[in-house]
Amino acid sequence: MIIPHGTFITLSPVVHQVCSSDFVTDKWLLIMQNSKIKANSADWRNKAFSTFSLLSNLCQLANKTINDAIHHFLLQPFIASNALNESDFDVQLSAILDQFFQSTILYFGLLVETEQILTQIDQPYSGVDGDGEELFEEENPIGIFATDKTNNRKTVKLVFNLTGPRTTKSTYFNCICAFNISCQVPARIYEIDQAWAQTPTLKELYKVPGSVVSCSATNSLMLSTLECYYLHSDCLPILMDFTKKQYFYNVKSPVWLVVRPLVYNSTSSRFPPNISISKIIKNMTIERWNPSYPYDQFYKSCAPSFCTYSKRVHIKTIAEVIITMISMIGGLIFSL
């Protein structure tokens, strides 16, 4: 008996709410892109666009992977040597679906891990983080710098670009990604003070809960959490205030978006707000698969429209046939 899975199985997966939230929309990404500040690669506002862009892309990739996997699975045949009773049917279908769920999630997790490994090995240049950012000697010790004779200020002439956080001042960060791929530092909002020094100094205004800056956009996202973006979080209004001020400063005709925060419900979500984003992504953002495979639908699918059967009957020998014929002839003669 061979029946396609799609004949009696339906799957209605539910993914993490962030993948349908304002935080992955084009409007939000445009605001993040235009909220960067100058001369400060360490600021959260300079990292937010790449982080949320990556999150949006991963949500789209997860959604496509889920749809493709389900489409392929439903086309595959269900094979049984004989009709199953309801109990055996439930056991067998549960095992088949569990294997499908695990293999699909494992495949997606391997894709993400492969990208991380390639990024760690190649360490590609990710470009300037700020808006027209200028690097100074203390921010990148691996480089060649030129001195401006008018103000004795050193600026970069030739630089070996380092991925991840570039600031190596001991008061902020003392890890270089070229030597340590696990570098990370809490994401912060800074204020640039240029009043009393030739080289701008950074004044920390706010540390963003759950957000880190690491050696790549992928690592920064994976090591962070979404706790700041949930309802009742004190963090989101503060971030929106800093972002809005910078966005309105950078854009001539700004169009602001009031983002709707995420809402956590422990009965409908298996991912608490403080869980790392890597665990959400490596589970393909799946909250639940919602499989349905009613036995009556299966029984209806395999019910035959007609039946054939065989029956053993006794076949007379030649002698028996001759005797029968003689008896019939004798009977006819006698009756005449």
Which pLDDT belongs to residue 332? 58
Distance, in Å, from the CA atom of 294 to the CA atom of 164, rounded to the nearest integer, reads: 51
Which helix (H) or strand (E) segment holds residue 2: the answer is strand 2-4
- SS3 of 135-196: the string is CEHHHCCCEEEEEECCCCEEEEEEECCCCCCCCCCCCCCCCCCCCCCCCEEEEEEEEEECCC
Distance separating alpha carbons of residues 86 and 66, to the nearest angstrom: 28
Residue 332 is assigned to a structural domain of this protein: no
Structural domain of residue 115, as residue ranges? 2-300
- Taking each helix axis from N to C terminus, what angle separates 26-33 and 44-75, rounded to the nearest 10 degrees? 150
Could you report the per-residue pLDDT of 210-246, keeping only the tens digit for each? 999 888 888 899 999 999 999 999 999 999 999 999 9
Decide if 230 is inside a domain.
yes
Residue 305 within any structural domain of the chain: no
What six digits make up the tokens of 148? 């401006």
CA distances from 173 to 6, 40, 46 (A): 54, 14, 17
164 contacts 178 by C-beta, under 8 angstroms:
no
Give a yes or no: residue 19 inside a domain. Answer: yes
167 occurs within a structural domain: yes
- Output the DSSP codes for 262-321: B---TTT-SS-TTSBHHHHHHTTTEEE--EE--HHHHHHHH--SS-------PPPPHHHH
In angstroms, rounded to a whole number, what is the distance separating the alpha carbons of residues 34 and 48?
A: 10
DSSP letter for 128, please. -
Contact 79, 26 (CB under 8 A): no
Cα(68)–Cα(283) distance, rounded to whole angstroms?
Answer: 16
Per-residue pLDDT of the chain (336 residues; tens, 9 = 90+): 788 999 999 999 999 999 999 999 999 999 999 999 876 667 899 999 999 999 999 999 999 999 999 999 999 999 877 778 889 999 999 999 999 999 999 999 998 888 777 777 776 655 555 444 444 444 444 555 566 677 766 665 555 555 556 543 544 455 677 677 778 889 999 887 766 555 667 788 999 999 998 888 888 999 999 999 999 999 999 999 999 999 999 999 899 999 999 999 999 999 999 999 999 999 999 999 999 999 888 888 776 565 555 667 666 676 666 777 667 666 656 555
CB 51 within 8 Å of CB 225:
no
State how far the Cα of 4 lies from the Cα of 70, in Å rounded to an integer. Answer: 13
270-291 confidence digits (pLDDT tens): 999 999 999 999 999 999 999 9
**Number of domains making up the chain:** 1
Tokens of 262: 């995420």
Q: What are phi and psi of 247, to 5 degrees?
A: -65, -45
Is the residue at 321 inside a domain?
no
Query: What integer pLDDT is reported at residue 296 of this predicted model?
Result: 87
Could you tell me how far CA 162 lies from the centroid of its own chain? 27
Is 208 inside any structural domain? Answer: yes
pTM of the model: 0.77
**Residue 291: inside a domain:** yes
Residue showing tokens 């009709």 = 83
